[in-house]
Structure 1
């Protein structure tokens, strides 16, 4: 069933779509939600127990704060890509969809990596520790089928450009991070030009440099809450390196003592 303008206005008791801030369509057998591409002001949306499989129209709902999608037909977590622009989204209920899979822990980490602004997922409060862990161990959400070309157009990339172009890689890496944080991608003219193309030998080193450039470029756009998330993730990452370094030093000292004794 298609959710129509007439049905939305009747349920919300509103005169126009722009004035609808809250809508409850629980258990209405809805499969087509294209109407939401016209509803940029909605804040709370209940769509649980329906037949929804695509979240693409929700990308336009930039004011959305709470979204309830329990027991639908969402096939893949790649559909969460459409929710990345919704930087105000704080509550999401996605349980009992095919996309949740058989590993609840990994599912939760993947959702939180894609949507680090969430404060509650599936009726469970999200902690700062979970966000930090998700940024390191959650799986990266890929672009939904059919959205690759539109993503390239949004990023301002020509079809013939490939990863061998350093500027192209720098821009793709930066915009990838921006999208994970729910931020708009930057256009090509925001990046400095690079004259010499990367070679097969130097490309891995350039990738690391571009990744660092992308992270540093993002820092000035983050607010206090987002910076705290980055800070926590960085501390956890540094602790991993510290533990590895201590283990290595202890191993070397043990070996040195053994050599002296022999």
Structure 2
């Protein structure tokens, strides 16, 4: 069953979709919730006990604070990637969906790694220790595969065109990082034009350069807590490279000394 405008307005007792802040559709046999692309200001949403399989229509509900999805048909935790941009989301109830699997502890850690801003998951308060563990042991969630090939993107270009567009590398890397932090993607017009790469540059080198640019663009949007996370991760990686370099240098000195002795 499709959730319609008429049903939404009747349940919310509202005159238009923009004014809908709370909506309870518990047990309405819903499978199609595409209407939420037209309800941007929803804050509390109950969709438990339905037949919903995709969360993509909720990606634009940026004011959503509480979301109840218990006992639906969500097949994979990859659907949670659609909720990463919902920075206000603090309460999520996902239990009794196929995506939860049998290892409920791993399920919980994976959800919290994807949505670290949650304060309550499946009616249980999220602790700081649990969140720290989730960032280490939770599985990384990737977006579900596209259902339409070679579609036209929001830039008005097809996938084939954007793949070879140097500006797209910058946008892709920046928005990938922003998505992982639960932030809204930046539109194409926010990125400076890039010169075409020289024939000698490889695709890998280009992407590395643009990744750096993307990170520098992203830093301006982070608050103190998020900058501290970036600082810690950077420090740990630099320590790893320093240790690796020292180990390699010591190994070369040992080999050189051995050659001199012989």
**Deviation digits for residues 29-73 of structure 1 (CA, Å, limit 9, x no counterpart):** 222223322222211111122111122221232210111112210
Check 1:161–1:31 CA distance in 2 against 1; reply closer, same or farther (3 A cut): closer
Structure 2: unaligned runs, 5 residues or longer: none
Change (3 A) 1:230 1:13: same
User: How does the TM-score come out when normalised to structure 2?
Assistant: 0.75
Aligned residue number for residue 146 of structure 2? 145
How many Å separate the matches in 1 of 2:52 and 2:240?
A: 41
User: Residues 203 and 36 (structure 1 numbering): CA distance in 2 closer, same or farther, change over 3 Å?
Assistant: closer
Q: Secondary structure at the match of 2:140?
A: coil
Name the counterpart of 1:216: 216
Distance 1:229 1:23 in 2: 35
The count of aligned residue pairs is: 256
Distance 1:166 1:8 in 2: 43
Moved more, 216-225 or 106-115: 106-115
5+ long unaligned stretches in structure 1: none
The 3-state SS of whatever aligns with 2:23 is strand
Q: CA deviation at 1:210?
A: 2.2
How far is 1:208 from its partner? 2.6
Secondary structure at the aligned position of 1:23 is classed as strand
Equivalent residue in structure 2 for 1:133, among 133, 136, 153? 136
Give the alignment's TM-score, normalised by structure 1: 0.75
Retained in 2: the 8 A contact 1:18–1:39? yes
Deviates more, 1:202-211 or 1:51-60: 202-211
Structure 1 residues 79-129: Cα deviation after superposition (integer angstroms, max 9, x where no partner): 223323322212222222222344545544543444343333333415352
Provide closer, same or farther for how the CA distance between residues 116 and 191 of structure 1 changes in structure 2, counting only shifts above 3 A.
farther
Contact 1:162–1:168, Cα closer than 8 Å, also in 2: yes
Contact 1:173/1:211 (<8 A) preserved:
yes
RMSD: 3.8
Aligned to 1:227: 227
Distance in 2 between residues matched to 1:112 and 1:75, nearest whole Å: 18
Judging changes above 3 Å, is the alpha-carbon distance between structure 1 residues 44 and 219 closer, same or farther for their aligned structure 2 residues?
Answer: same
Alignment of 1:1-262 (within 5 A): 1-104=1-104, 106-122=106-122, 123-125=124-126, 127=128, 129-130=132-133, 132-133=135-136, 138-146=139-147, 153-155=153-155, 157-161=157-161, 163=163, 166-181=166-181, 182-187=183-188, 190-197=191-198, 202-235=202-235, 237=237, 248=247
